Amino acid sequence: MKNLLNKRYFHVLDVNMSLSTVHSTLSSLKTCQTDIGTGMDIVTDVALDVAETAGSENDAVLKKLELMMLECAKLDQEINCFVDVVNCVTAEVRNQEPETMFRLKSLVKDKFTERHSRLSEGEIQNHGKMVSFKENVTNALKTVNPDAAENMEEELDEDIAVTQSEVNFTCPLTQVEMVNPMKNKKCNHHYDRDAIMGMIKARQNQKKRLRCPVVGCGNTDVKQGDLILDQIMKRQIQKR
C-alpha cells in the first residue's frame, strides 16, 4: 500500500519545486475527483437499474457495485487528504529558508502517511455519494420487493418510494421542474441542485444561515453536507 500511495500521489511533487508549480499541479487531482464523482453517479444509476429488475442474483450484483462505490469513496477521501496536507505544508514552508523547498516532498510524505493512517471506514461509509447510493438503492428495492430492502445495511427512517403522481417535482426556489433534485436529509425536502447551492453560497458570503424555503419547514440551517442527490426522483422526472 505504501508503494502504491507513493506512485499515486507523490509524483506531483517531482516536478519543478516552486510553490506555484506545486499548486497548479494539484489541479490535476481535482480534475480526477470530478471524474470519480461522475463515475460514482454512473455506478448508482446502474445499481438502480439492477434494483428495479426482479431476480435472485441481484443481491450479488448490488454488493459488487457497492464495493466499487466504496473504492471510489476511499480514493476521493485520499485525494482530499493529500491536497489538504500539501496546502498545509506549503503554507508552513512559505516563509522559511529556500532550502526547505528541497525537503517539501519528504515533509508532505510524512504528514500524509500519518493522516492517511487515521482515515476510518466510517468516514468512507459516510461519503456523500456513498450515503446517496445506499439510500437510493434501498428505496428502489422497496418499490419492487419490500423484503429485499431489509437486507441493506441501513434502513431509512421513512419510506419515500411514492408514485410519480404523489411527488412534487417543482423546486421551491425556482418554481420550475427540478433537473437535479437534492434531498435534505434533515427535513426531507427537495430543491434543484443549482438553485440551492447558489443560495447556500450567497448566505455563506453574507455569513447568514439559510432557512429551508419550503413553507412551514422548521429547518433553519440548510447545509451542503445535508444534501444528497435523489436519483430515484431524477429518474422519475426524466421518464415524464
121 in the same domain as 216? no
Going residue by residue through the chain (240 aa), what tens digit of pLDDT does each one get? Answer: 444 444 555 555 543 456 666 667 777 778 888 899 999 999 999 998 888 886 556 788 888 999 999 999 989 988 888 888 888 887 777 777 766 667 777 888 888 888 877 777 777 888 888 888 988 888 888 877 665 555 554 443 333 333 334 468 899 999 999 999 999 988 989 999 999 999 999 999 999 999 999 888 888 999 998 898 888 888 888 877
Whether residue 175 lies inside any domain: the answer is no
User: Do 15 and 81 fall within a single domain?
Assistant: yes
- Crossing angle for the helix pair 58-93 and 104-116, nearest 10 degrees? 140
Matching residue, cell 432557512? 211
Name beta bridge partners: 228.
183
136 and 193 share one domain: no
Count the Cβ atoms, other than its own, within 10 Å of residue 35. 10
Same domain for 58 and 119: yes
Pull the grid cell for residue 10: 507523490
Is 155 within the bounds of a domain? no
> Same domain for 29 and 126?
yes
Last residue of a domain, one of 89, 124, 144: 144
> For the chain, how many structural domains are there in total?
2
Domain-embedded: residue 65: yes
Task: Tell me: do 210 and 140 sit in the same domain.
Answer: no
Q: Phi, psi (5° rounding) for residue 165?
A: -65, -20
Are 30 and 130 in a shared domain?
yes
Q: Which domain holds residue 205?
A: 181-239
- Burial class from Cβ neighbours inside 10 Å (0-12, 13-18, 19+) for residue 155 reads exposed
